[in-house]
Amino acid sequence: MQARLRRMFDRFRSVVALLQSNTRLTVILVSTALVMAGQGVMAPVLPLFASSFGVGAAAIGLTLSTFALARLLLNVPLGILSDRRGRRILLAGGPLVSAVGMIGSGTAGGLLELLAWRFIAGAGSAMYMTGAQIYLIDISTPANRARHIGANQGALLFGVSIGPAIGGLLAELFGFRVPFFAVGAASLLTASYAYLRLPETRTVTDAPDSSEDRSVRPAWLRLLLSRNFGAVASVTFAVFLTRAGGRMTLMPLLAAASFGYSAGSLGVLFASMAIINLVGVAPASWVADRFGRKWAIVPAGVLVGAALVAMAASRDGQTFTMAAVLLAIGTATIGPAPAAFVADIAPVELRGLAMGLYRSAGDAGFLLGPIALGALADATSIPTALAVNAMLFVGATSLFGVVAREPSDPTALEPVD
């Protein structure tokens, strides 16, 4: 027991030492935690708030899909912007735009108005998250990249873990609109913090010049058309489809309709899942850096698929809760490996564009998941839609396991052609 506690303490000290020696990483982690605490507040509130306008599951899913549409449209232009103008404009500007969208959402009087404000909030999210991922790649190396991205994912999950409980409590005490205003305030705080504390990491040599279009364009095409990029893009598509369609749309509706969950109890469940993700991100990051990205991604496909099938087959609240725990373990297992894999295969001068394309693949899943799975649930049932979600996730991660190629030495990963 003492030896185990000593090892845990040594790991904690190593994390603290890393943060102390890397001020830029620390500031990014704080900013991400603030942004995602705001996002987490919405998890138990948004579907119920949208349903108060008297719409079905597919229309409720539009509140998530509209958010994703903005990110899908803007990820690539923002990635190019970061290559040409720097990362800092995205890191400070994103939370500011999100604040406008969230505060506006809280004032919405109908579904169409809510969708418009959600689009603006999605634009802000695209700015910050694209900028943060590129920034982390700038300050990391291939051998520690998954751990840097994993640390940011840990901050993300910390924010998500505290957000839902806060959102559910605020909704029960003050109504569905107040959480949106709280998110807006948190976003304004994040914008100020990022503007004051984050130095620029883009260098002149990193940015492609317009006079070099002849050499850049083939690299862009090779990246986009490569089997490695296609395989990892299918994984992130499935991850975001599951997050938005399965977990954020179908899961709350099934919990409320079949097992009597309230906004507050949903908040506790989402927070518990986020805590599991938070605990699991460090070992998942270590596995991805030490043994390769496949060892994190492929097992996650099995776990997430099993969790979604178990959730679809649930006949009581206890089984449903156990399935939710298994889902959290599966999503923790995949961790930061897909983003780290994209960074491995991306040319240095095209980091912003590569991450923009990668995030667009995810946001395509975020966009289509709630609509498609919501419509399928309306036409059949929520359990059927969850089962289809499971098949898609297992298929995408299995494809990556078969098709993707990574270096033979996982401790010194290099870009793959």
Q: Give dist(CA 102, CA 206) in Å, integer.
A: 34
CB 415 within 8 A of CB 347: yes
pLDDT at 234: 96
* 365 CB-near residues (< 8 Å, 6+ apart): 236, 237, 238, 239, 240, 241, 242, 243, 244, 245
pLDDT at 412: 37
pLDDT at 373: 94
What pTM value is reported for the model? Answer: 0.74
254 φ, ψ (degrees, to nearest 5):
-65, -40
* 362 CB-near residues (< 8 Å, 6+ apart): 236, 237, 239, 240
| Radius of gyration, CA atoms only, the chain | 20
The amino acid sitting at 400 is F
pLDDT at 215: 46
pLDDT at 321: 93
Q: Give dist(CA 101, CA 93) in Å, integer.
A: 13
* 77 CB-near residues (< 8 Å, 6+ apart): 356
Other CB atoms closer than 10 Å to residue 325's CB: what's the count? 15
The amino acid sitting at 16 is V
SS3 213: helix
pLDDT at 306: 96
CA 374, 380, 383, 385 torsion: positive or negative? negative
Write out the DSSP string of 335-354: TTHHHHHHHHHS-GGGHHHH
Domains, in order of start, for the chain: 23-197+216-412 (1.20.1250.20)
Could you state, in chain order, the average pLDDT of each consecutive group of 10 residues for the chain (417 residues)?
57 52 77 78 74 70 78 87 85 90 84 86 88 87 84 80 77 80 85 81 54 52 84 95 91 90 84 83 89 91 96 93 94 90 83 86 86 93 96 96 74 40
